[in-house]
Amino acid sequence: VEWTPEKGWHDARITPYGPITLDPATAVLHYAQETFEGMKAYRHEDGSVWTFRPEANAARMAKSSRRLALPELPIEDFVQAVDALVQADERWVPGSEGEKSLYIRPFMFASEKFLGVRPSQHVTFMVIASPAGSYFKGGLKPVTLWLTTEYTRAGKGGMGDAKTGGNYASSLVAQQEAYAQGCDQVVFLDAQEGTYVEELGGMNLYFVFKDGRVVTPATSGTILEGITRASIIELAKGLGHTVEERKFSIDEWRDGVASGDIVEIFACGTAAVVTPVGTLKEAGRETAAPTAETGELTARIREALVDIQFGRAEDTHHWMHKVL
Ligand code: PMP
């Protein structure tokens, strides 16, 4: 789908997958004016195909686009584009065995060719998809984390709550550091005080306390408002837990594990759903995982979510959208 100020969104079409040609002066290649989304389609046992909260992805993309001075794609058009792509080639949606699914990547970019710095007057929106196996082969494996103190993901007034490539580009060097330390993912702290836990490179965080409280860092404009994160708030409340969205310091993490007050930590996102957090490594010290195995609530929430997504549990929240 293309956009210009004169025509608005126009020329929606489905084409065979393949390379696209861009002029070397295309704005996105220079100024990173782009936004994207990540979501999945699931095949249920009866053969039907569903997406999970596509309107939430559409709304988040609209918000990201406003921040990047890109035009908003109406929610209905976003959902329709994703539906059309999946319907056109549904053979790529795997069966539900092993929690396989179709990963869907909608994205929007500045496609005008010019070298000045201003919002692009030509914008392109595309959707591509690729079958996704289970994220962790061989079952749930805790993610080990590296705490970066040198790099932050986003500051006040920045674009941390937008899903845009620049945020990921700036996180790569920290992610490289994590790999070099033998860790899977990087933990980012807030840019202003450097004490509050924000999120991982591609997942949000949850802390479970002994008294049943569940805490997740508040979304104050600097972290990505995960759709999995938002869904877990509802699921945890449904299981009788009190959920606190608030500032959560790195000291509270270290002390909570040391004193035994924190009994589970997990990370969540579309790709990995819910996954236990293992050791937190940082320069000069380590904080162990509160539990050696997957925590009880971590497992329950994961199962509750996956069962809804694959149609094995009743969708009481009306999260699923039927595509086929
Ligand atoms: N934070 C970041 C930085 C991410 O890239 C993602 C993945 N989109 C998330 C959190 C989790 O978001 P969601 O649950 O919508 O996948």
**Tens of pLDDT along 300-324?**
999 999 999 999 999 999 999 999 9
Q: Which DSSP string do the residues of 211-272 spell out, in sequence order?
A: TS-EEEE--SSSS---HHHHHHHHHHHHTT--EEEE--BHHHHHHHHHHT-EEEEEEEETTT
Which of 113, 134, 155 is the last residue in one of the domains? Answer: 134
Which of 110, 134, 158 is the last residue in one of the domains? Answer: 134
Query: pLDDT by residue (tens digit) across 232-291?
Result: 999 999 999 999 999 999 999 999 999 999 999 999 999 999 999 999 999 999 999 999
Instruction: Look up the ipTM and state it.
Output: 0.99
Residue 93's pLDDT is what?
95
On whether both 115 and 186 belong to a single domain, the answer is no
On whether both 220 and 265 belong to a single domain, the answer is yes
Q: Is residue 322 part of a domain?
A: no
Any ligand 1 atom below 6 A from CB of 145: no
CB 106 within 8 A of CB 81: yes
Which residue's alpha carbon is at the smallest distance from atom 10 of ligand 1?
Answer: 203
- Residue in 204, 206, 275 to alter for ligand 1 test, most ligand atoms within 8 A of Cβ: 204
Question: d(Cα 169, Cα 32) in Å, to the nearest integer?
Answer: 10
pTM score, whole prediction: 0.97
Q: Is residue 324 part of a domain?
A: no
Structurally, the chain folds into a number of domains equal to: 2
Question: d(Cα 95, Cα 42) in Å, to the nearest integer?
Answer: 8
CATH of the domain at 177: 3.20.10.10
Query: pLDDT by residue (tens digit) across 150-185?
Result: 999 888 899 999 999 999 999 999 999 999 999 999
- Residue in 60, 163, 220, 224 to alter for ligand 1 test, most ligand atoms within 8 A of Cβ: 224
Ligand 1 centroid to residue 113 C-alpha, Å: 31
* Domain, as residue range, for 224: 143-309
Q: Is residue 316 part of a domain?
A: no
